[in-house]
Amino acid sequence: MPADPLENLRQSYDVVVIGAGLGGLTAANTLARAGHSVLLLEQLHKLGGLATWFRRPGGHVFDVSLHGFPVGMIKSCRRYWSREIADSIVQLKNIRFDNPMFSLTTSVDRDDFTKLLIEKFQIPAETVNEFFDTARGMNFYDDQATTTRQLFERYFPGREDVVRLLMEPITYANGSTLEDPALTYGIVFSNFMSKGVFTFQGGTDRLISLVKKELAANGVDVRALADVEKIHVDRGRVTGVTVNGREVRTRAIVSNANLKSTILNLVGRGHFDRDFADQAEAVRLNNSSAQVYMAMKPGAMIDESCGDLLFSSTAPTFRTDMLLSRDITSRTYSFYYPKTRPQQPQPRCVIVSSTNANYADWAELPEPEYRRSKENLAETTLDAIEKYVPDIRDKLDYIECATPRTFQRYTKHLDGASFGTKFEGLAVSRALPEQIAGLYHAGSVGIIMSGWLGAVNYGVIVANDVDAYLMKGER
């Protein structure tokens, strides 16, 4: 690690990207490929943002957000990253649901869900097809007033079991609720339904090492441990940033930091129209998460019949608010078998249990109570997973928990938001350059533009906007 992370920094760049999450990384890479000089600044010691991993004694490696994404990642990675990255994306074939209403295994794609809905849930075939076509036909310009609850009511009135099957993976995938606009459900659901759920073979550490190789090949100046404190604006356009107390000049900025902290902290509301600043303040953050990371002893294998992803719940019915409660009744387990990291010298099994969580439930706990709550989360998770992995305590080598406080600490996301902001954040994010010339945001906003695929794609969209802006300035 260099003594000064900003050693040999140039005085100015065409573009400064703040934050090395998937959105920031992709924007930086796309802009560098287009021939611009790009400085990428990341406050943490490593790149990836929420797409991250960590190592623990005993050779254990844990992925934080590598649980599943839609097939579209293959195309996006091939176009905007590399063939090697795209070719490492593989399908998760065994997705399980286990709750008091039903237990089943599925590949989470249209064919399999159609079969399940008709044969197991006894829904008429025409209704199922109509529902899928409606969901797939939704786009951003559609009616934004209909909620997901109303969409389900239209097709499956009174069928809480069906709603659970259709909604649980999506709530997990992006924190959305039944009260969010139906189109945000339709787009994400259809993305998954096209071919199922995919993962990155080799783990997040391998992905980010390949990403770093691409950034270097395209000439991005990458600096970790580089904390941006301020975005400078003069006469309505960006002029530079202050990073680790030092000023760097630039013509364009892409912030991959949380949308609200970009506007309200890094720029400051005084630089925006009052209405816009009010609109930004009113944007709701998405929920946060709590996770339990469990590594088995070397050689202690878990049977692959446990599934790759398991949506497990003891709640009698499906309620999105219950998914956020600290009184956890629903957990999603990701099972990582030795095939996840074939490069590891010894075969390993790891399980990550994830739950959505409210920041407020954890934020103010005094230190001893916070510690006790984490211990309790670990113990209750082990109790719950016994059903699927008998004698797990005997097989366990290492266990650790993350809470909304952890996510906030490592990513600086306000309230540890896992998926950025709610839907209304997208319009605010898109309108930034109309407020301040040269200021852009590419990061999780509004359900559609979140998750691994959404963040990558949004990075590309914004990079194209920035490219057009810079080219205009040069004419």
Ligand X SMILES: Cc1cc2nc3c(=O)[nH]c(=O)nc-3n(C[C@H](O)[C@H](O)[C@H](O)COP(=O)(O)OP(=O)(O)OC[C@H]3O[C@@H](n4cnc5c(N)ncnc54)[C@H](O)[C@@H]3O)c2cc1C
Q: Which residues bind ligand X (CB under 6 A)?
A: 18-24, 41-44, 49-51, 64-65, 67-69, 227-228, 256-257, 289, 291, 354, 407, 411-413, 418-420, 443-444, 450-452, 455
Q: How far apart are CA 417 and CA 401, in angstroms?
A: 17
Write down the least CB distance from residue 226 to ligand X, Å.
6
Return the bridge partners of 402, or none.
291
Nearer to ligand X, 68 or 181 (CB): 68
Q: Are 84 and 210 in contact (CB under 8 A)?
A: yes
Nearer to ligand X, 43 or 312 (CB): 43
Write down the least CB distance from residue 243 to ligand X, Å.
7
Contacts of residue 242, Cβ cutoff 8 Å, sequence gap at least 6? 228, 229, 230, 232
- Closest listed residue to residue 142, CA positions, set 423, 455, 454, 442: 423
User: In the structure encoding, which two tokens stand for residue 35, read together?
Assistant: 């021939």
Write down the least CB distance from residue 89 to ligand X, Å.
12
User: In the structure encoding, which two tokens stand for residue 165, read together?
Assistant: 């099957």
Q: How far apart are CA 475 and CA 465, in angstroms?
A: 16
Q: Is 240 helix (H, G, I), strand (E, B) or coil?
A: strand
Instruction: Return contacts of 240-244, CB within 8 angstroms, 24+ apart.
Output: 240/12, 240/16, 241/16, 241/18, 241/41, 243/6, 243/41, 244/5, 244/6
Sort residue 424 into left (φ over 0), alpha (ψ -120 to 50) or beta.
Answer: alpha
Write down the least CB distance from residue 13 to ligand X, Å.
15
Amino acid letter for position 145: A
Nearer to ligand X, 131 or 335 (CB): 335
Write down the least CB distance from residue 197 to ligand X, Å.
9
Nearer to ligand X, 101 or 351 (CB): 351
Amino acid letter for position 470: L
Write down the least CB distance from residue 1 to ligand X, Å.
16
Nearer to ligand X, 135 or 455 (CB): 455
User: In the structure encoding, which two tokens stand for residue 306, read together?
Assistant: 């446990």
Q: Is 147 helix (H, G, I), strand (E, B) or coil?
A: strand
Q: Are 394 and 149 in contact (CB under 8 A)?
A: no
Write down the least CB distance from residue 64 to ligand X, Å.
6
Q: Which runs of E-coded beta strand occur in 10-118?
A: 12-18, 38-41, 53-56, 60-63, 89-92, 95-98, 103-106
Write down the least CB distance from residue 335 to ligand X, Å.
13
Nearer to ligand X, 69 or 155 (CB): 69
Nearer to ligand X, 438 or 451 (CB): 451
Nearer to ligand X, 28 or 295 (CB): 28
- Number of helices and strands (H, E) in the chain? 18, 18
Write down the least CB distance from residue 451 to ligand X, Å.
3
Write down the least CB distance from residue 66 to ligand X, Å.
6
Phi/psi at 383 (5° precision): -60, -45
Amino acid letter for position 200: F
DSSP result, 264-304: IIII-GGGS-HHHHHHHHHPPBP-EEEEEEEEEPTT----G
User: In the structure encoding, which two tokens stand for residue 388, read together?
Assistant: 């699927």
Amino acid letter for position 224: A
Residue nearest to ligand X (CB): 21
